[in-house]
């Protein structure tokens, strides 16, 4: 194992970036030195996360690269490490942040410096969530991410940004505070907030129910599940493109990760007790939000609602307590992280040109923008779960697992796949196909080289995971199996 | 003979130096010099306090222990910070008189006596010395109607609360025959109704001093009316001292029957948290808003008080320290905000700060997030430790109400951030060129933001002080 405190380095590099940006002057018109610095810093972080990925021992299901330092005393320590469940999320985060910065090169018109600082801070918090091995540290990062996101939506967002950002902040905060009380309760119950210890601890049935509900209150808002999803479309619509990307790409995954890591593993009895409720809510989310997506007039809103539907598959998979379900949920999250991020970027591309997200205003783009149409098609197909794209693998595994648990739920969930195809293809047809009759579209330009650079890695990953998901599954499998074993051990 | 006086050496030093400074000031009206000397006196007094051995004397009516030493240093820090706020602003707010530092010194002296008192009468003397200085301070700006009004209001209500307090003290003395905290504890009769009345009245009087709901009415008016450096002082030192004596009074005298008074504290705490969270939403004056904010914070501090155990005291001390630092940052900022040489006190005046001074804007916004208790800022850790102790003691109701109130209160703190960032500026701010205010603002902001990296020192202070009682 590597002696370098490599996970702390992952956290520190963006912080160094923040300090650098603070002292770089932003006098020049284009802020290009700021953008370059931020881009290279985040790219460096991505490289380091790849180093972690390649040094990661896939056969070992336990936490690796552990670091532990004294922090708050009383057995609350700065304790970080990663296992097969969290490592891919870390890489996803470090992968998406440089893309976000690249995507913000031209559409952030003012205060570039603060914007980049907020993004780097957000990266620190997101990585922190995934690598924390201490519950209180986890909570710190989980909540801390609200501050930069609040500012990103509020300052650089659209017209109703203030309403949206307040809704986002207060909604998520109100959900999360219960988790804090639960965390404290667990700390006094067990005497430590170390996650590996807590994973082995067996709480009594009644306590599990209460604690599970407290964690659920936090995650259900964050993931978000129907009927607590209303903040998401608002936040997405008003956020700048990169904000939407990171929101859909990573922030929603924090809760899915939380469900796997905490809810089902630490409170298996309660999870089994509440599983039918989760199934029901997930099914409603899948069908209901897909139907809502069908009638949207705003592109971003449509994708936001589709996110809720996709996250329904994730929760469905997690609460089957099968290896396929958990693997499927993780792959679905990774895939959704890539695909929905890419879809928001696609919206951003035409928004930058026309400054509207209304679906009616577009049509026939294929005539002027072939490259764009091609990339958009790949992501739309991945979003609806076409075999050969990453979206298929996750959904298939989840459907497989839910079928083994309950056939009726599986039937309903499959309907969601059909609906996803309906709204996705409808969106694609409206925007890309048809005659190019609208005047302002006549001289619209195709992807610039910067945009091509953004889309290429996303396309490659989408197809690669879709065609050959084995390497990804190999990383996930041992730790997922361990999770299942812990649950079964506690359930007896 | 000397041994006895060694116990109150810091108090004697502070008293004689302030009296001396008063004399000097009378003939040599250089306010800056007096201010500077008072600052030095506070520093020296703090050193004396730190190096004082733990001891008690005067028939056990005066104690120096880890708890009182910690609180005294915090009070002196708050007072010293007030002097730094005073010097750049004195000419603008028409309080350009040398008595200001002297009055602050006497108020601090009263607080120090109060914090160390282990006897109802010593407590009352300290409290009155403090209160009288504060009444004068509140009305220091004689030409301002608001300031005079706040002084009068504070005086009348303060006198009323002192009356309640004294009434309660007489009951306690009547039913136990003692005024010393430890002796009261020894002769405590569980079934005595008269004693219970005494406790209730003393608690009411002290609740007034810490401005807990429903004894908070004076706070918003006094905070708004008093000259800003004085408001800063109100938020910093007296609150800490009052919480400290509240704690010592209940813990030393009535530790045996904690369940009796715990209900009172729990009620005060819940009422303060909920009331402040909702009342602050409608405020438009930032000083008034900070008054409600301080009421809310007192609610959280009282959770620590209600716990009655080691963790409770520890969390209370940690919260007080963080509260002190956050308030220094906010008030030094309020004093810097000027447009055309006029102080901005309305919240809407903050609009455009972000365009004008982005660096200050981010720091004060983080200060607001910290007051709201959002991690990873210092304010979160204050609340975190408070909730830790509440849950350990099965005070679940308090914890749940507290955490929900903190969500509601996040709304009005965020409103300030919203105005700073999302609203268009009206006019430019004057230069933020006061070095002493900048110093206060940057140091306190740095502590607020970086607390999470190295939290041990403040937590160790909490442990150190909590050892006194448990």
The tens digit of pLDDT for each residue in A352-405 reads 888 888 888 888 888 888 899 999 999 999 998 888 898 899 999 999 999 988
Reply yes or no on whether the pLDDT at A25 is more than 90: no
C-alpha–C-alpha distance, residues B46 and B79, integer Å: 11
Helix (H) or strand (E) holding B268: helix B258-279
Give the pairing type, strands B55-57 and A76-82: unpaired
Structure tokens at A199: 């994973």
Reply yes or no on whether the pLDDT at A7 is more than 60: yes
Helix axis angle, B358-372 relative to A146-156, nearest 10°?
130
Give how far Cα A341 sits from Cα of A236, A297, A466, Å.
11, 20, 17
Over range B173-198, report the average pLDDT.
87
- Average pLDDT over all residues of chain A: 89
The predicted pLDDT at position A33 comes to 83
- Beta carbons of A114 and B392 less than 8 Å apart: no
The predicted pLDDT at position B137 comes to 92
The predicted pLDDT at position A1 comes to 46
> Distance from B64 to chain A by nearest Cα, in Å?
27
- Beta carbons of B391 and A181 less than 8 Å apart: yes
Over range B385-393, report the average pLDDT.
93
Give how far Cα B29 sits from Cα of B21, B23, B34, B142, B179, Å.
11, 10, 8, 19, 43
Instruction: Assign A50 a pLDDT band (cuts: 50, 70, 90).
Output: very high
- Beta carbons of B407 and A173 less than 8 Å apart: yes
CB contact at 8 A, B85 and B332:
yes
- Beta carbons of A185 and B422 less than 8 Å apart: no
Reply yes or no on whether the pLDDT at B341 is more than 90: no
Reply yes or no on whether the pLDDT at A120 is more than 90: yes
Q: Domain coordinates of chain A in residue numbers?
A: 6-491
SS (H, E, C) A356-394: CCEHHHCCCHHHCCHHHHHHHHHHHHHHCCCCCCHHHHH
- Residue among A328, A318, A310 at smallest CA distance from A279: A318
- Beta carbons of B407 and A146 less than 8 Å apart: no
The predicted pLDDT at position A28 comes to 61
Q: Which are the contacts of B461, defined by CB distance < 8 A and separation ≥ 6?
A: B70, B317, B318, B321
Give how far Cα A318 sits from Cα of A16, A50, A271, A417, Å.
37, 26, 10, 18
Give how far Cα A304 sits from Cα of A101, A147, A223, A249, A385, Å.
21, 21, 12, 11, 16
Q: Which are the contacts of A413, defined by CB distance < 8 A and separation ≥ 6?
A: A282, A283, A286, A312, A313, A316, A398, A399, A402
The predicted pLDDT at position A30 comes to 62
DSSP A396-456: HHHHHHHHHH-HHHHHHHHHHHHHHHHHHHHHHHHHHSS----GGGTT-----HHHHHHHH
Structure tokens at A386: 């076409």
Give how far Cα A137 sits from Cα of A75, A77, A258, A308, B345, Å.
12, 8, 13, 27, 38
DSSP B427-467: SPPPP---HHHHHHHHHHHHHHHHGGGS-HHHHHHHHHHHT
On whether the pTM is more than 0.90, the answer is: yes
The predicted pLDDT at position A338 comes to 93
The predicted pLDDT at position A439 comes to 79
Over range B425-429, report the average pLDDT.
78
- Please indicate whether residue A33 or residue A138 has the higher confidence score (pLDDT): A138
Reply yes or no on whether the pLDDT at A44 is more than 60: yes
Give how far Cα B439 sits from Cα of B105, B287, B333, Å.
22, 21, 11
DSSP A145-190: THHHHHHHHHHH--TTHHHHHHHHHHHHHHHHHHHHHHHHHHHHHH
**Chain B residues in contact with A141 (beta carbon < 8 A):** 375-376
Over range B217-231, report the average pLDDT.
92
- Residue among B92, B103, B113 at smallest CA distance from B35: B103
A vs B, Cβ pairs < 8 A, gives 81
**Chain B residues in contact with A147 (beta carbon < 8 A):** 366, 369, 374
**Chain B residues in contact with A151 (beta carbon < 8 A):** 365, 421
Q: Identify which of B369, B391, B404 has the shortest CB distance to residue A184.
A: B391
CB burial readout B351-367, b (16+ within 10 A) else e = bbbbbebeebbbbbbbb
The predicted pLDDT at position A61 comes to 87
> Distance from B421 to chain A by nearest Cα, in Å?
7
Percentage with pLDDT > 90 across chain A: 56
- Beta carbons of B410 and A72 less than 8 Å apart: no
Looking at the DSSP assignment, which residues form a beta bridge with residue A132? A80
Structure tokens at A217: 């209150």
Reply yes or no on whether the pLDDT at A328 is more than 90: yes
pLDDT tens sequence across B258-301: 888 899 999 999 999 999 999 999 999 999 999 999 999 999 99
Over range B157-164, report the average pLDDT.
94
- Beta carbons of B406 and A136 less than 8 Å apart: no
**Chain A residues in contact with B358 (beta carbon < 8 A):** 111, 113-114
The predicted pLDDT at position B434 comes to 85
Looking at the DSSP assignment, which residues form a beta bridge with residue A112? none
Structure tokens at B455: 């939290």
Instruction: Assign B357 a pLDDT band (cuts: 50, 70, 90).
Output: confident
Instruction: Assign A406 a pLDDT band (cuts: 50, 70, 90).
Output: confident
pLDDT tens sequence across B77-126: 999 999 999 988 888 877 888 889 999 999 999 999 999 999 999 999 99
Q: Identify which of B376, B399, B407 has the shortest CB distance to residue A170.
A: B407
Q: Which residues of B touch A (CB under 8 A)?
A: 354, 358, 362, 365-366, 369, 374-376, 380, 384, 387-388, 391-392, 399-400, 403-404, 406-407, 410-411, 414, 417-418, 421-422, 452, 455-456, 459
The predicted pLDDT at position A29 comes to 63
> Distance from B388 to chain A by nearest Cα, in Å?
6
Cβ neighbour number for residue B267 with a 10 Å cutoff: 16
Q: Which are the contacts of B446, defined by CB distance < 8 A and separation ≥ 6?
A: none
Query: What is the length of chain B?
Result: 470
Q: Domain coordinates of chain B in residue numbers?
A: 2-466
Give the pairing type, strands B342-343 and B338-339: antiparallel
Q: Which residues of A touch B (CB under 8 A)?
A: 70-73, 111, 113-114, 136, 139-141, 143-144, 146-147, 150-151, 154-155, 161-162, 166, 169-170, 173-174, 177-178, 180-181, 184-185, 187-188
First vs last C-alpha separation in chain B: 31
DSSP B375-392: TTSHHHHHHHHHHHHHHH
Q: Identify which of A144, A177, A184 has the shortest CB distance to residue B407.
A: A177
Over range A71-77, report the average pLDDT.
81
pLDDT tens sequence across B242-251: 999 999 999 9
Percentage with pLDDT > 70 across chain A: 98
Over range A254-273, report the average pLDDT.
92
Q: Which range among A21-35, A149-163, A225-239, A398-412 shows the weakest confidence by mean pLDDT? A: A21-35
Q: Which are the contacts of A419, defined by CB distance < 8 A and separation ≥ 6?
A: A286, A287, A290, A291, A293, A294, A309
Instruction: Assign A96 a pLDDT band (cuts: 50, 70, 90).
Output: very high
- Beta carbons of B374 and A143 less than 8 Å apart: yes
**Chain A residues in contact with B362 (beta carbon < 8 A):** 114
pLDDT tens sequence across B16-61: 999 999 999 988 888 889 999 999 999 999 999 999 888 888 888 8
Percentage with pLDDT > 90 across chain B: 69
Q: Identify which of A114, A139, A140 has the shortest CB distance to residue B358.
A: A114
B122 by Cβ neighbours in 10 Å (0-12 / 13-18 / 19+) ranks as: buried
C-alpha–C-alpha distance, residues A376 and A356, integer Å: 17
Helix (H) or strand (E) holding A78: strand A76-82
- CA closest to B455 among chain A residues: A72
């Amino acid at each position: 194992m590597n002696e370098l405190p490599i996970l702390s380095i992952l956290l520190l590099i963006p912080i160094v970036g923040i300090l650098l940006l603070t002292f770089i002057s932003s006098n020049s018109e284009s802020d290009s030195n700021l953008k370059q610095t931020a881009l290279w810093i985040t790219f460096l972080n991505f490289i380091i996360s790849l180093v972690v990925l390649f040094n990661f021992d896939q056969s070992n299901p336990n936490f690796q690269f552990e670091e532990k330092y004294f922090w708050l005393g009383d057995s609350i320590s700065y304790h970080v490490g990663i296992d097969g469940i969290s490592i891919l999320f870390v890489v996803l985060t470090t992968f998406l942040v440089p893309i976000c910065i690249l995507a913000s090169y031209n559409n952030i018109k003012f205060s570039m410096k603060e914007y980049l600082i907020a993004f780097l801070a957000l990266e620190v918090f997101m990585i922190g969530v995934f690598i924390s091995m201490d519950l209180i540290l986890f909570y710190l990062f989980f909540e801390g991410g609200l501050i930069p996101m609040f500012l990103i939506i509020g300052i650089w967002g659209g017209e109703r940004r203030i309403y949206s950002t307040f809704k986002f902040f207060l909604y998520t905060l109100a959900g999360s505070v219960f988790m804090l009380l639960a965390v404290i309760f667990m700390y006094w119950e067990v005497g430590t907030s170390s996650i590996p210890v807590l994973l082995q601890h067996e709480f009594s049935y009644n306590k599990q129910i209460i604690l599970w509900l407290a964690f659920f209150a936090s995650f259900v808002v964050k993931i978000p599940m129907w009927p607590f999803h209303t903040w998401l479309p608002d936040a997405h619509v008003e956020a700048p493109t990169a904000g939407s990307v990171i929101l859909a790409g990573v922030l929603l995954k924090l809760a899915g990760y939380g469900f796997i890591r905490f809810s089902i593993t630490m409170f298996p009895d309660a999870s089994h007790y509440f599983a039918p409720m989760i199934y029901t809510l997930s099914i409603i989310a899948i069908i209901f939000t897909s139907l809502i997506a069908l009638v949207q007039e705003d592109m971003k809103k449509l994708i936001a609602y589709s996110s809720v539907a996709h996250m329904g598959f994730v929760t469905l998979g997690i609460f089957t307590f099968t290896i396929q379900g958990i693997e499927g949920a993780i792959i679905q999250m990774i895939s959704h992280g890539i695909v929905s991020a890419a879809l928001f970027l696609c919206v951003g591309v035409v928004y930058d040109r026309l400054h509207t997200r209304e679906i009616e205003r577009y049509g026939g783009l294929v005539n002027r923008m072939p490259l764009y149409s091609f990339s958009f098609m790949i992501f739309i197909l991945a979003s609806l779960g076409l075999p050969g794209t990453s979206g298929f693998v996750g959904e298939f595994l989840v459907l497989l697992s839910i079928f083994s648990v309950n056939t009726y739920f599986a039937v309903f969930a499959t309907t969601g796949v059909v609906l996803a195809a309906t709204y996705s293809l409808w969106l694609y047809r409206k925007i890309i196909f048809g005659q190019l009759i609208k005047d302002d579209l006549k001289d619209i330009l195709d992807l610039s080289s910067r945009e091509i650079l953004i889309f290429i890695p996303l396309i490659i990953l989408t197809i690669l995971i879709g065609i050959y998901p084995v390497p990804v599954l190999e990383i996930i499998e041992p730790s997922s199996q361990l999770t299942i074993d812990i649950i079964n051990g506690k359930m007896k | 003979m000397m041994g006895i006086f060694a116990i109150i050496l810091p108090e004697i030093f502070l008293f004689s130096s302030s009296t001396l400074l008063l004399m000097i000031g009378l003939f040599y009206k250089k306010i800056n010099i007096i201010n500077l000397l008072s600052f030095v006196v506070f520093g020296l007094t703090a050193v004396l306090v730190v190096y004082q051995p733990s001891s008690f004397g005067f028939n056990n009516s005066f104690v120096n222990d880890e708890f009182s030493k910690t609180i005294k240093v915090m009070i002196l820090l708050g007072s010293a910070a007030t002097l730094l706020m005073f010097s750049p602003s004195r000419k603008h707010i028409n309080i350009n008189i040398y008595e200001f530092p002297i009055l602050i010194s006497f108020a601090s002296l009263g607080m120090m006596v109060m914090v160390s008192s282990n006897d109802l009468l010593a407590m009352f003397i300290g409290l009155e010395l403090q209160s009288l200085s504060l009444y004068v301070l509140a009305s220091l700006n004689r030409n301002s109607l608001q300031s005079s009004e706040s002084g009068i209001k504070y005086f009348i209500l303060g006198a009323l609360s002192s009356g309640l307090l004294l009434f309660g003290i007489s009951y306690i003395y009547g039913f136990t025959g003692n005024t010393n905290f430890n002796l009261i504890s020894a002769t405590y009769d569980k079934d005595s109704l008269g004693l219970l009345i005494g406790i209730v009245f003393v608690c009411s009087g002290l609740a007034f001093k810490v401005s807990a709901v429903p004894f908070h009415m004076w706070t918003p008016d006094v905070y708004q009316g008093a000259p800003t450096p004085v408001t800063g002082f109100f938020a910093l030192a007296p609150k800490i001292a009052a919480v400290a004596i509240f704690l010592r009074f209940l813990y030393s005298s009535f530790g045996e029957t904690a369940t009796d008074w715990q209900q009172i504290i729990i009620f005060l705490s819940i009422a303060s948290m909920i009331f402040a969270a909702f009342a602050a939403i409608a405020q438009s004056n930032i000083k008034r808003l900070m008054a409600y904010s301080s009421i809310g914070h007192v609610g959280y501090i009282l959770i620590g008080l209600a716990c009655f155990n080691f963790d409770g005291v520890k969390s209370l001390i940690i919260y007080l320290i963080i509260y002190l630092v956050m308030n220094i940052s906010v008030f030094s900022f309020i004093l810097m905000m000027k447009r055309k040489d006029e102080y901005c006190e309305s919240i809407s005046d903050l609009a455009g700060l972000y365009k004008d001074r982005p660096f200050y804007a981010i720091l004060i916004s983080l200060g607001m997030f910290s007051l709201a208790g959002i991690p990873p800022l210092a304010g979160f850790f204050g609340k975190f430790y408070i909730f830790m102790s509440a849950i350990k003691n099965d005070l679940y109701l308090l914890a749940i109400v507290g955490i929900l109130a903190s969500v509601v209160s996040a709304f009005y703190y965020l409103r300030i951030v919203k105005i700073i960032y999302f609203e268009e500026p009206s006019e430019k701010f004057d230069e933020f060129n006061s070095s002493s205010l900048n110093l206060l603002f940057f140091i306190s902001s740095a502590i607020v933001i970086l607390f999470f990296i190295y939290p041990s020192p403040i937590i160790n202070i909490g442990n150190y002080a909590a050892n006194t009682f448990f």
